[in-house]
């Protein structure tokens, strides 16, 4: 802004020449020289749009905007000062993508990329997807899109998986490299630890072993808890519902007491007195028979 000095004579004075000075601002058009440049704040905002052409969507997405701004020149600085002409990038605003599993709009910081493909998924959906595949005993996990060559690796997915899911994936991969003939699991239901048959001596037959996790004995040949007092051949002749520890203890007790077993109902009977001929009262009662005799050999 410039000023102009005007001299106005005073008509009321007779002899002395008295003049009055007035200062009037004179507008000057800006932008005509370097000294009266227009501040950058007066320019309209212009944005550069950067489009990611690698996406295979039908619509074009605005990934981020770059805004160039000039810092204000403070006292003691010139327009040539480095800090005054430094260019800043604006922070991205409202950047989202669509998850191809849940079809929801998610922020870009939640984006998870599958190795070997361009599909986009959110971290939550991929974590659930990996857990479901491991539940189906599938260790080689690929991209959810059928026919896609994308694949998943444990280390790449570690940040989106719970610790128990990540550990189970690692254990499953270790089990996959062990031959089926060399591995089995602890027969106790509350343990089920993975065990390996590492017989060091050729043709050595191991009958009894101890689980390193639960420290309980089991039969290596029958793959069951240790059947004390019974040979493996006798145990394998038993039915599935007769192989519990309680059943085996009862059989050992019957053998020591010389109890006999009814060939029909399989109940144990004991001769208290009389001859060698006995009648199963339980079978006679249920069948409503007048007399059912069975011969038991006294040992």
Verdict on whether the full-model pTM lies above 0.85: no
Provide the token pair at 278.
Answer: 């006995």
- Tally of domains within the chain: 3
Q: Indicate whether 73 and 17 sit together in one domain.
A: no
Q: Which candidate, 82, 81, 78, 129, places its Cα nearest to that of 102?
A: 129
Q: Which candidate, 245, 195, 186, places its Cα nearest to that of 214?
A: 186
Integer Cα distance of 24 and 120 in angstroms:
67
Q: Indicate whether 13 and 110 sit together in one domain.
A: no
pLDDT by residue (tens digit) across 137-176?
A: 888 899 999 889 899 988 888 888 989 899 989 888 887 7
pLDDT by residue (tens digit) across 243-265?
A: 676 777 777 777 777 777 776 77
Per-position b or e across 219-241, b if 16+ CB within 10 A of its CB: bbebebbbbeebeeeebeeeeee
Q: Is residue 201 part of a domain?
A: no
Return the percentage of the chain with pLDDT > 70, whole number.
54
More confident site: 276 or 130: 130
N-to-C CA span, the chain: 130
pLDDT by residue (tens digit) across 154-163?
A: 888 888 898 9
Do residues 47 and 61 touch, judged by C-beta distance below 8 A?
no
Q: Indicate whether 100 and 24 sit together in one domain.
A: no
Residue 121's pLDDT is 92
Under the banding of pLDDT at 50, 70 and 90, the label for residue 233 is confident
Residue 293's pLDDT is 42
Residue 237 reports pLDDT greater than 90: no
Expressed as residue numbers, the domain containing 11 is 2-29
Under the banding of pLDDT at 50, 70 and 90, the label for residue 84 is very low
CATH number, domain of 88, equals 3.30.40.10
Question: Which residues lie closer than 8 Å to 293 by C-beta, 6 or more apart?
Answer: 277, 278, 279
Do residues 53 and 45 touch, judged by C-beta distance below 8 A?
no
Beta strands 268-269 and 260-261 are antiparallel
Q: Indicate whether 124 and 23 sit together in one domain.
A: no
In this structure, the number of other CB atoms found within 10 A of the CB of residue 254 comes to 15
Q: Indicate whether 155 and 75 sit together in one domain.
A: yes
Question: Which residues lie closer than 8 Å to 74 by C-beta, 6 or more apart?
Answer: none
Q: Indicate whether 112 and 50 sit together in one domain.
A: yes
Inter-CA distances, 122 with 51, 61, 102, 161, Å: 21, 18, 8, 12
Report the helix count and the strand count for the chain, using DSSP H and E: 6, 17
Residue entry with tokens 């007779």: 14
Q: Is residue 169 part of a domain?
A: no
- Indicate the average pLDDT of the chain: 70
């Amino acid at each position: 802004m410039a000023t102009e000095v005007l001299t106005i004579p005073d008509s009321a004075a007779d002899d002395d020449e008295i003049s009055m000075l007035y200062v009037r601002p004179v507008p000057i058009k800006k932008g005509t020289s370097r000294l009266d440049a227009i501040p950058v704040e007066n320019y309209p905002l212009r944005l550069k749009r950067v489009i990611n052409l690698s996406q295979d969507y039908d619509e074009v997405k605005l990934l981020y905007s770059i805004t160039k701004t000039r810092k204000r020149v403070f006292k003691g600085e010139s327009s040539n000062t480095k800090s005054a002409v430094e260019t800043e990038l604006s922070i991205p605003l409202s950047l989202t993508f669509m998850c191809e599993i849940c079809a929801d709009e998610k922020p870009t910081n939640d984006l998870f990329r599958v190795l070997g493909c361009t599909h986009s998924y959110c971290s939550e959906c991929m974590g659930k997807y990996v857990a479901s595949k491991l539940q189906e005993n599938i260790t080689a996990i690929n991209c959810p899109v059928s026919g896609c060559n994308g694949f998943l690796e444990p280390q790449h997915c570690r940040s989106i998986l719970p610790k128990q899911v990540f550990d189970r994936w690692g254990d499953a991969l270790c089990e996959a490299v062990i031959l089926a003939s060399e591995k089995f699991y602890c027969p106790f239901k509350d343990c089920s630890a993975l065990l390996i048959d590492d017989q060091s001596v050729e043709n050595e037959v191991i009958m009894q072993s101890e689980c390193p996790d639960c420290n309980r004995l089991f039969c290596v040949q029958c793959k069951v808890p240790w059947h004390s007092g019974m040979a493996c051949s006798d145990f394998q002749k038993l039915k599935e519902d007769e192989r519990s520890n309680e059943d085996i203890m009862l059989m050992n007790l019957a053998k020591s007491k010389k109890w006999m077993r009814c060939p029909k109902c399989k109940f144990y009977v004991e001769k208290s007195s009389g001859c060698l001929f006995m009648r199963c009262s339980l079978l006679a009662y249920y069948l409503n028979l007048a007399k059912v005799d069975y011969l038991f050999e006294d040992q």
